[in-house]
Chain A
Amino acid sequence: GAVVSQHPSWVICKSGTSVKIECRSLDFQATTMFWYRQFPKQSLMLMATSNEGSKATYEQGVEKDKFLINHASLTLSTLTVTSAHPEDSSFYICSARPPQELLYEQYFGPGTRLTVT
């Protein structure tokens, strides 16, 4: 149980275009999902917390207009990188928290590698 998927697993896009990444909880409902970014040889940095049916909360320094997060259902959250640039190339990882679990629990997706050319 507690499986989280991400799609696509990797994507290459041209500079200036937008790309959408999906995060799905496959066997549980997730009231809260998190989006992380990981640059090569660096740690995971939390970008935003999304709660189903409400606006995402972004961490300091993360541009909300550039990284659009939608958590429209209890099993799906999407991250859209708008007007992508090469510096947005990174590994994006989502995690999901089931509502019945204690607040510390998160289940991670396999990640999406974004390359902007």
Chain B
Amino acid sequence: AQKVTQAQTEISVVEKEDVTLDCVYETRDTTYYLFWYKQPPSGELVFLIRRNSFDEQNEISGRYSWNFQKSTSSFNFTITASQVVDSAVYFCALSDLMEYGNKLVFGAGTILRVKS
């Protein structure tokens, strides 16, 4: 069973549009961590954010924002006013102790294409 679900395989938007990437996770542990990574065409993973299960505050970093809702086991990522440089594959990941021994479990990824 998939523990991190990124239902959107690919999203295409026009520059300056807002876009939200969905992430739904599954864990029985009460302590866990959620991550978002960006993988541009070069292949190198770029860390974007880490959030622990006890901190449900939404976070904003420039054009990026994250909405963490434990009630729906979701950790969605929004890019405001998208730019061509945002084109990449975005991965949501989960790490917990009980089920995964603090290993990172990645979702399938969402390809974001931003057109000018």
Residues of A within 8 A of B (CB): 34, 42-46, 49, 91, 93, 95, 103-104, 106, 108, 110-111, 113
Which A-B residue pairs are the 3 nearest by beta carbons?
A103-B102, A104-B33, A110-B44
Alpha-carbon separation in the docked complex, A34 to B101 (Å):
13
Chain A residue contacts of B52, Cβ below 8 A: 104
Task: Return B78 CB to nearest CB of chain A, in Å.
Answer: 21
Q: Which of B47, B52, B97 has the most CB of A within 10 A?
A: B47
Task: Return B4 CB to nearest CB of chain A, in Å.
Answer: 9
The answer to whether B43 touches A110, judged by C-beta atoms less than 8 angstroms apart, is yes
Alpha-carbon separation in the docked complex, A46 to B95 (Å):
13
- Interface: B13 (CB within 8 A): no
**9-residue interface stretch from B14-22, B63-71, B80-88, B105-113:** B105-113
22 A-B contact pairs sorted by A residue (CB < 8 Å) = A34-B104, A42-B108, A43-B107, A43-B109, A44-B45, A44-B104, A44-B106, A46-B103, A49-B103, A91-B43, A93-B43, A103-B95, A103-B97, A104-B50, A104-B52, A104-B102, A108-B37, A108-B45, A110-B43, A110-B44, A111-B43, A111-B44
The answer to whether B103 touches A34, judged by C-beta atoms less than 8 angstroms apart, is yes
Count B interface residues, CB 8 Å: 20
Alpha-carbon separation in the docked complex, A95 to B35 (Å):
15
The answer to whether B91 touches A44, judged by C-beta atoms less than 8 angstroms apart, is yes
Chain A residue contacts of B47, Cβ below 8 A: 108
Alpha-carbon separation in the docked complex, A103 to B101 (Å):
9
Alpha-carbon separation in the docked complex, A49 to B104 (Å):
11
The answer to whether B104 touches A46, judged by C-beta atoms less than 8 angstroms apart, is yes
Alpha-carbon separation in the docked complex, A106 to B100 (Å):
14
- Nearest-neighbor residue (CB-CB) of A106 within chain B: B104
- Nearest-neighbor residue (CB-CB) of B93 within chain A: A44
Q: Which of A42, A46, A103, A104 has the most CB of B within 10 A?
A: A104
